[in-house]
A = this chain, B = another copy of it.
Amino acid sequence: MNLESAPQGVVAGSIPLFAGHPARDLLPLDGIQGAIDAIWRGEGATRLFNYGDEQGNPELIEFLVKRLRRGEGLEIGPENLMIIGGSTWGVDMISDQLTQAGDVLLVDAPSYRDALHIFHDHRLELRDVPIDEGGILIAEMERTLRELEAGRRAPKFYYVVPNFQNPSGITMPKDRRRAVIELSRRYGFVIVEDDVYCDIRFGDRLPPSFYALAGGENVLRIGSFSKTLAPGLRIGWLIGAADRIAAFVGSGLLTMGGGANPFTAAIVAQYCRSGAWEAHLRWLREQYRARRDIALAALESLMPASVTCTRPRGGYFIWLGLPSSLRVDDLAAAARERNVYFAPGTGFFVDPADGLHHLRLSFSFLPLEDLRAGIEILGDLIRQRSR
Protein backbone atom coordinates (compact mmCIF):
# COMPACT_ATOMS: atom_id res chain seq x y z
CA MET A 1 0.00 0.00 0.00
CA ASN A 2 1.23 3.40 -0.93
CA LEU A 3 1.81 5.64 2.07
CA GLU A 4 2.29 8.84 0.12
CA SER A 5 5.75 7.94 -1.18
CA ALA A 6 6.74 5.62 1.61
CA PRO A 7 10.52 5.65 2.04
CA GLN A 8 12.13 2.46 0.80
CA GLY A 9 12.16 -0.27 3.39
CA VAL A 10 9.30 0.85 5.61
CA VAL A 11 8.58 -2.33 7.55
CA ALA A 12 5.49 -3.78 9.16
CA GLY A 13 5.04 -2.60 12.72
CA SER A 14 6.64 0.73 11.92
CA ILE A 15 5.20 4.13 12.74
CA PRO A 16 4.66 6.11 9.51
CA LEU A 17 4.24 9.67 10.81
CA PHE A 18 4.55 10.83 7.19
CA ALA A 19 1.32 9.25 5.95
CA GLY A 20 -1.06 11.98 4.73
CA HIS A 21 -3.99 9.59 4.39
CA PRO A 22 -7.33 9.27 6.07
CA ALA A 23 -7.13 6.67 8.83
CA ARG A 24 -8.80 3.41 7.81
CA ASP A 25 -11.54 3.76 10.43
CA LEU A 26 -12.40 7.24 9.11
CA LEU A 27 -13.44 5.94 5.68
CA PRO A 28 -17.27 5.68 5.51
CA LEU A 29 -17.36 2.26 3.89
CA ASP A 30 -20.96 1.50 4.85
CA GLY A 31 -22.08 4.77 3.31
CA ILE A 32 -20.20 4.04 0.10
CA GLN A 33 -21.68 0.56 -0.03
CA GLY A 34 -25.12 2.06 0.47
CA ALA A 35 -24.53 4.48 -2.41
CA ILE A 36 -23.47 1.64 -4.69
CA ASP A 37 -26.55 -0.37 -3.75
CA ALA A 38 -28.79 2.62 -4.43
CA ILE A 39 -27.19 3.09 -7.85
CA TRP A 40 -27.84 -0.51 -8.71
CA ARG A 41 -31.44 -0.33 -7.57
CA GLY A 42 -32.00 2.93 -9.46
CA GLU A 43 -32.44 3.44 -13.15
CA GLY A 44 -29.66 4.33 -15.50
CA ALA A 45 -26.86 2.27 -13.95
CA THR A 46 -25.83 1.35 -17.49
CA ARG A 47 -24.77 4.82 -18.41
CA LEU A 48 -22.31 4.92 -15.51
CA PHE A 49 -20.30 2.17 -17.15
CA ASN A 50 -19.99 3.86 -20.50
CA TYR A 51 -18.19 7.08 -21.38
CA GLY A 52 -19.61 10.03 -19.49
CA ASP A 53 -20.05 13.75 -20.03
CA GLU A 54 -16.75 15.50 -20.54
CA GLN A 55 -17.57 17.97 -17.76
CA GLY A 56 -18.31 15.13 -15.35
CA ASN A 57 -21.32 13.67 -13.57
CA PRO A 58 -24.11 16.30 -13.87
CA GLU A 59 -25.75 15.43 -10.54
CA LEU A 60 -22.47 15.83 -8.70
CA ILE A 61 -21.80 19.16 -10.43
CA GLU A 62 -25.25 20.36 -9.42
CA PHE A 63 -24.76 19.23 -5.83
CA LEU A 64 -21.39 20.94 -5.49
CA VAL A 65 -22.54 24.19 -7.09
CA LYS A 66 -25.53 24.39 -4.75
CA ARG A 67 -23.42 23.56 -1.72
CA LEU A 68 -20.81 26.20 -2.52
CA ARG A 69 -23.46 28.81 -3.25
CA ARG A 70 -25.27 28.04 -0.01
CA GLY A 71 -22.28 27.41 2.25
CA GLU A 72 -19.92 30.12 1.03
CA GLY A 73 -22.19 32.41 -0.95
CA LEU A 74 -19.95 31.64 -3.93
CA GLU A 75 -21.35 33.12 -7.12
CA ILE A 76 -20.94 30.19 -9.46
CA GLY A 77 -23.10 28.21 -11.83
CA PRO A 78 -22.64 24.76 -13.36
CA GLU A 79 -20.53 26.37 -16.10
CA ASN A 80 -17.89 27.18 -13.46
CA LEU A 81 -17.33 23.67 -12.14
CA MET A 82 -16.11 20.39 -13.57
CA ILE A 83 -15.39 16.99 -12.07
CA ILE A 84 -11.79 15.78 -12.07
CA GLY A 85 -10.06 12.56 -11.05
CA GLY A 86 -8.79 13.94 -7.74
CA SER A 87 -6.76 17.10 -7.15
CA THR A 88 -3.74 15.43 -8.76
CA TRP A 89 -5.56 15.38 -12.08
CA GLY A 90 -6.33 19.10 -11.60
CA VAL A 91 -2.73 20.07 -10.89
CA ASP A 92 -1.50 18.03 -13.84
CA MET A 93 -4.16 19.30 -16.26
CA ILE A 94 -3.63 22.92 -15.24
CA SER A 95 0.12 22.50 -15.74
CA ASP A 96 -0.51 21.00 -19.16
CA GLN A 97 -2.81 23.75 -20.32
CA LEU A 98 -1.31 26.86 -18.71
CA THR A 99 2.40 26.22 -19.07
CA GLN A 100 5.16 25.11 -21.35
CA ALA A 101 8.52 23.65 -20.35
CA GLY A 102 10.75 26.40 -19.00
CA ASP A 103 7.93 28.58 -17.71
CA VAL A 104 8.14 29.97 -14.17
CA LEU A 105 5.78 29.24 -11.28
CA LEU A 106 5.61 30.73 -7.82
CA VAL A 107 5.19 28.38 -4.87
CA ASP A 108 5.37 28.67 -1.11
CA ALA A 109 8.52 27.74 0.81
CA PRO A 110 7.65 25.17 2.06
CA SER A 111 5.08 23.84 -0.43
CA TYR A 112 3.30 20.54 -1.07
CA ARG A 113 5.98 18.10 -2.14
CA ASP A 114 3.99 16.00 -4.62
CA ALA A 115 2.76 19.10 -6.45
CA LEU A 116 6.38 20.26 -6.77
CA HIS A 117 7.07 16.81 -8.24
CA ILE A 118 4.40 17.29 -10.90
CA PHE A 119 5.76 20.76 -11.73
CA HIS A 120 9.27 19.33 -12.04
CA ASP A 121 7.90 16.65 -14.38
CA HIS A 122 6.54 19.47 -16.54
CA ARG A 123 10.06 20.97 -16.57
CA LEU A 124 8.85 24.20 -14.99
CA GLU A 125 11.14 26.60 -13.20
CA LEU A 126 10.02 27.02 -9.59
CA ARG A 127 10.58 30.10 -7.47
CA ASP A 128 9.62 29.60 -3.87
CA VAL A 129 8.83 32.46 -1.53
CA PRO A 130 9.05 32.15 2.28
CA ILE A 131 5.90 31.91 4.36
CA ASP A 132 5.16 32.80 7.97
CA GLU A 133 2.16 31.76 10.06
CA GLY A 134 -0.05 33.77 7.70
CA GLY A 135 1.28 32.30 4.49
CA ILE A 136 3.38 33.82 1.74
CA LEU A 137 5.32 36.98 2.64
CA ILE A 138 3.95 39.66 0.37
CA ALA A 139 7.11 41.80 0.31
CA GLU A 140 9.17 38.75 -0.64
CA MET A 141 6.64 37.77 -3.25
CA GLU A 142 6.78 41.22 -4.79
CA ARG A 143 10.58 41.21 -4.72
CA THR A 144 10.58 37.90 -6.64
CA LEU A 145 8.05 39.26 -9.13
CA ARG A 146 10.17 42.37 -9.73
CA GLU A 147 13.26 40.25 -10.22
CA LEU A 148 11.44 38.13 -12.77
CA GLU A 149 10.08 41.22 -14.47
CA ALA A 150 13.59 42.64 -14.75
CA GLY A 151 14.43 39.51 -16.73
CA ARG A 152 11.27 40.03 -18.80
CA ARG A 153 9.60 37.06 -17.21
CA ALA A 154 6.40 36.50 -15.29
CA PRO A 155 5.13 33.43 -13.49
CA LYS A 156 2.34 31.53 -15.20
CA PHE A 157 0.68 30.83 -11.89
CA TYR A 158 1.10 30.84 -8.12
CA TYR A 159 0.29 27.47 -6.58
CA VAL A 160 -1.00 27.59 -3.02
CA VAL A 161 -2.76 25.33 -0.52
CA PRO A 162 -4.63 28.17 1.18
CA ASN A 163 -6.17 26.34 4.13
CA PHE A 164 -4.26 24.08 6.56
CA GLN A 165 -1.38 24.05 4.16
CA ASN A 166 0.52 20.90 3.35
CA PRO A 167 3.08 20.71 5.01
CA SER A 168 2.82 23.56 7.51
CA GLY A 169 -0.84 23.40 8.54
CA ILE A 170 -1.14 27.21 8.34
CA THR A 171 -4.07 29.13 6.85
CA MET A 172 -3.66 32.38 4.96
CA PRO A 173 -5.86 35.20 6.36
CA LYS A 174 -8.10 37.35 4.20
CA ASP A 175 -5.86 40.43 3.98
CA ARG A 176 -2.90 38.40 2.78
CA ARG A 177 -5.11 36.76 0.15
CA ARG A 178 -6.24 40.18 -1.05
CA ALA A 179 -2.64 41.32 -1.32
CA VAL A 180 -1.75 38.25 -3.39
CA ILE A 181 -4.70 38.93 -5.72
CA GLU A 182 -3.53 42.51 -6.06
CA LEU A 183 -0.08 41.27 -7.12
CA SER A 184 -1.58 38.70 -9.46
CA ARG A 185 -3.42 41.49 -11.28
CA ARG A 186 -0.42 43.77 -11.42
CA TYR A 187 1.98 41.09 -12.66
CA GLY A 188 -0.51 39.03 -14.64
CA PHE A 189 -0.43 35.54 -13.20
CA VAL A 190 -3.13 33.01 -12.34
CA ILE A 191 -3.72 31.80 -8.77
CA VAL A 192 -4.19 28.03 -8.42
CA GLU A 193 -5.64 27.29 -4.99
CA ASP A 194 -5.52 23.63 -4.07
CA ASP A 195 -8.13 23.66 -1.36
CA VAL A 196 -8.50 20.03 -0.40
CA TYR A 197 -8.54 20.56 3.39
CA CYS A 198 -11.18 23.30 3.74
CA ASP A 199 -13.85 20.89 4.95
CA ILE A 200 -11.62 19.59 7.74
CA ARG A 201 -11.73 22.75 9.85
CA PHE A 202 -11.92 22.46 13.62
CA GLY A 203 -13.31 25.80 14.54
CA ASP A 204 -14.27 29.12 13.08
CA ARG A 205 -15.17 29.92 9.52
CA LEU A 206 -12.39 30.07 6.99
CA PRO A 207 -11.38 33.24 5.16
CA PRO A 208 -13.09 33.63 1.78
CA SER A 209 -11.34 31.67 -0.95
CA PHE A 210 -9.09 33.38 -3.50
CA TYR A 211 -11.79 32.52 -6.01
CA ALA A 212 -14.41 34.42 -4.02
CA LEU A 213 -12.17 37.40 -3.25
CA ALA A 214 -11.12 37.76 -6.88
CA GLY A 215 -14.67 37.41 -8.17
CA GLY A 216 -13.54 34.30 -10.02
CA GLU A 217 -11.09 36.23 -12.16
CA ASN A 218 -7.85 34.38 -12.94
CA VAL A 219 -8.27 31.92 -10.11
CA LEU A 220 -8.58 28.15 -10.45
CA ARG A 221 -9.74 26.42 -7.31
CA ILE A 222 -9.36 22.68 -6.77
CA GLY A 223 -11.48 20.64 -4.35
CA SER A 224 -11.39 16.94 -3.54
CA PHE A 225 -13.27 14.11 -1.87
CA SER A 226 -9.99 12.36 -1.04
CA LYS A 227 -9.64 13.85 2.43
CA THR A 228 -13.32 13.81 3.40
CA LEU A 229 -14.68 10.67 1.75
CA ALA A 230 -12.16 8.27 0.23
CA PRO A 231 -9.01 8.81 -1.87
CA GLY A 232 -9.47 5.53 -3.74
CA LEU A 233 -12.55 6.86 -5.54
CA ARG A 234 -10.35 9.50 -7.24
CA ILE A 235 -12.91 12.29 -7.45
CA GLY A 236 -12.43 16.03 -7.06
CA TRP A 237 -13.60 19.21 -8.73
CA LEU A 238 -12.23 22.30 -10.38
CA ILE A 239 -13.78 25.77 -10.21
CA GLY A 240 -12.93 28.57 -12.61
CA ALA A 241 -14.24 31.16 -15.01
CA ALA A 242 -16.64 29.63 -17.55
CA ASP A 243 -14.25 30.08 -20.48
CA ARG A 244 -11.41 28.39 -18.64
CA ILE A 245 -13.61 25.47 -17.57
CA ALA A 246 -14.86 25.15 -21.15
CA ALA A 247 -11.26 24.95 -22.37
CA PHE A 248 -10.46 22.14 -19.94
CA VAL A 249 -13.70 20.31 -20.75
CA GLY A 250 -12.94 20.64 -24.47
CA SER A 251 -9.44 19.20 -24.13
CA GLY A 252 -8.40 15.94 -25.76
CA LEU A 253 -7.99 14.40 -22.33
CA LEU A 254 -11.68 14.80 -21.55
CA THR A 255 -12.95 14.19 -25.08
CA MET A 256 -11.08 10.91 -25.43
CA GLY A 257 -11.70 9.59 -21.93
CA GLY A 258 -15.27 10.80 -21.58
CA GLY A 259 -15.12 12.74 -18.31
CA ALA A 260 -13.58 11.91 -14.96
CA ASN A 261 -14.28 8.43 -13.59
CA PRO A 262 -18.00 8.09 -14.44
CA PHE A 263 -18.72 5.17 -12.13
CA THR A 264 -17.06 6.48 -8.97
CA ALA A 265 -18.37 10.01 -9.63
CA ALA A 266 -21.87 8.52 -9.59
CA ILE A 267 -21.15 6.81 -6.28
CA VAL A 268 -19.99 10.11 -4.83
CA ALA A 269 -23.01 11.94 -6.25
CA GLN A 270 -25.37 9.40 -4.74
CA TYR A 271 -23.58 9.54 -1.39
CA CYS A 272 -23.57 13.35 -1.25
CA ARG A 273 -27.15 13.85 -2.36
CA SER A 274 -28.41 11.51 0.36
CA GLY A 275 -27.08 13.96 2.95
CA ALA A 276 -24.54 11.40 4.15
CA TRP A 277 -21.52 13.54 3.34
CA GLU A 278 -22.51 16.48 5.53
CA ALA A 279 -23.23 14.13 8.43
CA HIS A 280 -19.91 12.36 7.85
CA LEU A 281 -18.07 15.71 7.73
CA ARG A 282 -19.44 16.78 11.10
CA TRP A 283 -18.25 13.53 12.65
CA LEU A 284 -14.96 13.59 10.74
CA ARG A 285 -14.03 17.07 11.99
CA GLU A 286 -14.41 15.86 15.58
CA GLN A 287 -12.24 12.84 14.85
CA TYR A 288 -9.46 14.85 13.26
CA ARG A 289 -9.68 17.54 15.93
CA ALA A 290 -9.22 14.91 18.63
CA ARG A 291 -6.21 13.60 16.72
CA ARG A 292 -4.75 17.08 16.39
CA ASP A 293 -5.24 17.67 20.11
CA ILE A 294 -3.51 14.42 21.00
CA ALA A 295 -0.61 15.22 18.69
CA LEU A 296 -0.18 18.75 20.05
CA ALA A 297 -0.43 17.56 23.66
CA ALA A 298 2.20 14.91 22.96
CA LEU A 299 4.45 17.46 21.30
CA GLU A 300 3.99 19.83 24.24
CA SER A 301 4.90 17.27 26.85
CA LEU A 302 7.46 15.14 24.99
CA MET A 303 9.49 17.53 22.84
CA PRO A 304 12.38 19.62 24.14
CA ALA A 305 11.72 23.36 24.26
CA SER A 306 14.06 23.89 21.32
CA VAL A 307 11.52 22.31 18.94
CA THR A 308 8.88 24.60 17.43
CA CYS A 309 5.57 23.49 16.00
CA THR A 310 2.59 24.97 14.21
CA ARG A 311 -0.89 24.68 15.74
CA PRO A 312 -3.17 23.98 12.77
CA ARG A 313 -6.89 24.63 13.08
CA GLY A 314 -7.74 21.96 10.56
CA GLY A 315 -6.32 19.56 8.02
CA TYR A 316 -3.80 16.79 8.55
CA PHE A 317 -0.39 18.29 9.30
CA ILE A 318 1.90 19.84 11.90
CA TRP A 319 5.22 21.40 10.88
CA LEU A 320 8.13 21.06 13.25
CA GLY A 321 11.25 23.20 13.49
CA LEU A 322 14.37 21.50 14.85
CA PRO A 323 17.22 23.12 16.77
CA SER A 324 19.78 24.48 14.34
CA SER A 325 22.35 22.02 15.63
CA LEU A 326 20.31 19.07 14.39
CA ARG A 327 19.95 18.11 10.73
CA VAL A 328 16.69 16.45 9.73
CA ASP A 329 18.44 13.78 7.66
CA ASP A 330 20.42 12.70 10.71
CA LEU A 331 17.23 12.60 12.74
CA ALA A 332 15.49 10.60 10.00
CA ALA A 333 18.29 8.03 9.99
CA ALA A 334 18.11 7.65 13.75
CA ALA A 335 14.31 7.44 13.69
CA ARG A 336 14.44 4.76 11.02
CA GLU A 337 16.46 2.62 13.43
CA ARG A 338 13.52 2.90 15.80
CA ASN A 339 10.98 2.14 13.02
CA VAL A 340 9.66 5.71 13.00
CA TYR A 341 9.30 7.51 9.67
CA PHE A 342 8.38 11.12 9.00
CA ALA A 343 8.50 13.51 6.03
CA PRO A 344 11.77 15.49 6.21
CA GLY A 345 11.46 19.20 5.45
CA THR A 346 13.95 18.90 2.59
CA GLY A 347 11.25 17.52 0.26
CA PHE A 348 9.08 20.61 0.55
CA PHE A 349 11.47 23.24 -0.77
CA VAL A 350 12.83 24.02 -4.20
CA ASP A 351 16.27 23.97 -2.60
CA PRO A 352 16.23 20.98 -0.23
CA ALA A 353 18.82 22.70 1.99
CA ASP A 354 16.10 25.14 3.09
CA GLY A 355 14.31 22.28 4.81
CA LEU A 356 17.27 20.81 6.68
CA HIS A 357 15.83 21.72 10.08
CA HIS A 358 12.16 21.00 9.56
CA LEU A 359 9.86 18.03 9.31
CA ARG A 360 6.17 17.31 8.73
CA LEU A 361 4.07 15.15 11.02
CA SER A 362 0.69 13.86 9.92
CA PHE A 363 -1.98 13.16 12.52
CA SER A 364 -4.55 11.86 10.02
CA PHE A 365 -3.60 8.23 9.58
CA LEU A 366 -1.94 6.57 12.56
CA PRO A 367 -3.70 4.77 15.39
CA LEU A 368 -3.64 7.20 18.30
CA GLU A 369 -1.27 5.12 20.40
CA ASP A 370 1.22 5.01 17.50
CA LEU A 371 0.89 8.75 16.99
CA ARG A 372 1.84 9.38 20.60
CA ALA A 373 4.55 6.69 20.62
CA GLY A 374 6.09 8.09 17.44
CA ILE A 375 6.24 11.60 18.88
CA GLU A 376 7.76 10.25 22.08
CA ILE A 377 10.50 8.45 20.18
CA LEU A 378 11.21 11.55 18.10
CA GLY A 379 11.37 13.66 21.28
CA ASP A 380 13.91 11.27 22.81
CA LEU A 381 16.03 11.26 19.67
CA ILE A 382 16.01 15.03 19.38
CA ARG A 383 16.91 15.43 23.02
CA GLN A 384 19.82 12.99 22.67
CA ARG A 385 21.11 14.60 19.52
CA SER A 386 20.79 18.30 20.32
CA ARG A 387 22.59 18.32 23.62
Question: Which residues of A are at the interface with B, using a C-beta cutoff of 8 A?
Answer: 1-5, 21-22, 24, 27, 29, 32-33, 36, 40, 45-54, 85-89, 91-92, 96-97, 100-101, 114-123, 226, 230-234, 251-253, 255-259, 261-264
CB distance from A148 to the nearest CB of B (A): 20
Copies in the complex: 2
Residue on B nearest A120 in the bound complex, by CB: B252
Main secondary structure of the interface of A (DSSP, over half): helix
A61 CB, nearest partner CB in chain B, Å: 14
Q: Of the candidates B231, B255, B262, which one forms a contact with A51 in the assembled complex, judged by CB atoms under 8 Å apart?
A: B231
Partner of A49, one of B40, B116, B233, B255: B233
B21 engages A46 (CB within 8 Å): no
Task: Given A234-B262, A252-B119, A252-B120, check contact A27 B49 (CB 8 Å).
Answer: yes
* Shortest Cβ gap from A302 to chain B (Å): 28
> How far apart sit A75 and B237, CA to CA, in the bound complex (Å)?
40
Q: Which 4 A-B pairs have the closest CB atoms?
A: A117-B252, A118-B252, A114-B256, A88-B257
**B257 contacts A50, CB within 8 Å?**
no
**Contact residues in B for A97 (Cβ distance below 8 Å):** 121
Contact (Cβ within 8 A) A50 B259: no
Other 6 A-B pairs with CB < 8 A, given A51-B231, A234-B262 = A1-B47, A1-B52, A85-B257, A115-B252, A118-B252, A231-B262
A232 with B49, Cβ < 8 A, contacts A40-B33, A88-B253, A121-B251 known: yes
Tell me if B53 and A1 are in contact (CB < 8 A). yes
- Given A50-B231, A252-B118, A262-B232, CB of A100 within 8 Å of CB of B88: no
Contact present for A2 and B49 (CB under 8 Å): no
Residues of B within 8 A of A21 (CB): 50-51
Min C-beta distance of A87 to chain B, whole Å: 8
A32: chain B residues at CB < 8 Å are 49
Asked if A261 contacts B101 (CB within 8 A), the reply is: no
For A251, the chain B residues whose CB sits under 8 A away are: 117-118, 121
Q: Contact at A45–B29, with CB atoms within 8 Å?
A: yes
| In the bound complex, CA of A31 to CA of B32 (Å) | 19
